[in-house]
Structures are given as structure tokens and as C-alpha cells.
Amino acid sequence: MKKYIGAHVSAQGGVENAPLNARAIGATAFALFVKNQRQWSAPPLSEESVARFKKNCSECGYAPGTILPHDGYLINLGQPDPDKRRQSVEAFVDELERCAALGLDRMNFHPGSHLRLVDEKEDISIIASSVREALERVPGVTAVFENTAGQGSNMGYSFEQLADMLEQVGLPDRVGVCIDTCHAFAAGYDFVSPDSFDKVWRDFDRLIGFRYLKGMHLNDAKAGAGSHLDRHESLGQGTLGWGVFERLMKDPRFDGIPLILETVDPDLWPEEIAQLQSWAK
């Protein structure tokens, strides 16, 4: 196994450009949006665009397991209002279908928000029900829950919540998680020291299990542990520091999955990727 390291690259001009943009920064993995992330709907992917995406991925050396597409920002699978939630479920299904058409095997998403209309326990069940419906309608793509910083009414900020969601979906072979380092730190998982790093990941394995880890977002943080502020920073320039990422790169538990930068300065991505890759050897 090996480390697959990249960034969330632009798909402007067509999804087929994403693998080319990833190769240009020395990435061995990448993330992308499969449609405009700030709109509910978009034209279907053309057969030509799909064919070019697959061809470019093959030529650039990106297998499906090194690619972590992200759904759009408007989707809220935890929306308590059934009519409003229906729009989110349909949009989520559309994004899963786009991933399937592109030959991708997973899609990363934020679990959703209760909007202070229901309690967290009820919202976990709402989210799980929404995901289960979508997965039953679209085969072949794994739904990858991303942990959140716990801002506002956002769900999925604890390992316990993520574990409950996975269990309630009831389709263990079709779900996984993506851990964002900035979000985890902001949610209160302080893993800066070697001892706390080991403890946090032992807790993760006990509550969720590494078999469910389908990707990571590697981001330093602008704010402190437990701040609940989702503010990314370039690696080594925030409150996490380089040591966390060096330990991640040298730990075989994080092999074989896409490790994706969403740091704030894309001009630094080639440098950040090269540094991470030097530790992974």
C-alpha cells in the first residue's frame, strides 16, 4: 500500500480537466465537484465529457480509489422539513449518479444540519434515512460522511455521531467516513502531541473502525481546539502544525485512500504535496 496525496482541484471547463489539473501539481490523488457546487441543478454530463474524464484519469494514473468527489454545498440531508428535504435527497441522488457515470466509487458529503428544529438524535435518524434512500436508488457508489467542526447546527462533529449514522443507514458495505483534520481539531479532538494523536485514532478505531475510512482532508486550522470554527489554513501555518501531518504520512493506517488538501493557498499545493510525499516514503 502507499499514500495517495492530492488536493481539491478545479473542474472548470468540464470534469475532464480535473485529472489534468491534479497532475500539474504533482498529485497522486484528487478531489473535485462533479457539478456546480452552488446550484441545485446542472445539465447532465455529456458522453464526451465522461469519456474524456475516464481517459485522462487513466493516462494520468488515477484509479477510482484515489479520487474523492464532493457533493454540492446546498444539500442538507438533515433538513427536518420533509418537503425541503426532498429537494436535497433528489440532488444527492443526482450527484451519486454523476459519480457512477464517471466510474467513481465514493462520494464525500457533509451529513447535514438540524437547523435547531429537531434534536440531534432525531436528526441523525433523518440523515441516515436520507442516505439510505439515495444509496438504494444508486448502486455502486459509497456515501462518505465527512466530520464537521460543529459550527451552528451542523451534525457529524463527533465520532459517536458518525458511528450512529453509519449504523442507522444499515448498509455497511455502502458507507464510509472522511476525516477532515481541521474539522476534527475544531470539534475538540486535540491530536497535536504524539500521545494525543495516538489516543484520538484509538478512539476512532474503537467507535468507527479504520475499515470505514475512505478518505481524509488534510488541513491545518486557523483556530484552536474546540473552537467549532471551520477555518482552514495552509499546512504548518496554523494551530495544528507540521508534526500532525508528518505522523499521518508515516502511519500505515492511512495508506490506500485519497488524502486531500483543501488548504487556503493553491499556489502552495505542489510544495505541500511534495513535503507530505517525502514523509510517506
pLDDT for 166: 98
Amino acid, single-letter form, for residue 190: D
pLDDT for 41: 85
pLDDT for 277: 98
Active-site residue among 71, 95, 220, 230? 230
- Rounded to whole angstroms, the Cα distance separating 275 from 242 reads 10
Give residue limits of the domains in the chain.
Answer: 4-280
The answer to whether 262 is a known catalytic residue is yes
Active-site residue among 183, 212, 220, 233? 183
pLDDT for 37: 86
Active-site residue among 174, 217, 220, 233? 217
The answer to whether 110 is a known catalytic residue is yes
pLDDT for 38: 80
pLDDT for 145: 98
Low-confidence stretches of the chain (pLDDT < 50) are none
Model-level pTM? Answer: 0.97
Per-residue pLDDT of 19-40, as tens digits, reads 999 999 999 999 999 998 888 9
Looking at CATH, the fold of the domain delimited by 4-280 is given as: TIM Barrel (3.20.20)
| Under 8 Å between Cβ of 123 and 163 | no
Active-site residue among 94, 95, 123, 180? 180
The answer to whether 116 is a known catalytic residue is no
Active-site residue among 110, 114, 174, 247? 110
Active-site residue among 23, 85, 106, 232? 232
The answer to whether 251 is a known catalytic residue is no
DSSP codes joined into one string, 54-111: HHHHHHHT--GGGB--B--TT--TT-SSHHHHHHHHHHHHHHHHHHHHTT--EEEE--
pLDDT for 34: 97
The answer to whether 70 is a known catalytic residue is yes
pLDDT for 263: 98
Per-residue pLDDT of 114-129, as tens digits, reads 999 999 999 999 999 9
CA-to-CA dists, residue 245 to 217, 218, 230, 274, 276, angstroms: 11, 8, 18, 12, 7
Active-site residue among 90, 105, 133, 262? 262
Alpha helical stretches, state H, the chain: 18-24, 47-60, 82-101, 120-137, 159-169, 181-186, 194-207, 242-250, 269-280
The answer to whether 173 is a known catalytic residue is no
The answer to whether 73 is a known catalytic residue is yes
pLDDT for 267: 98
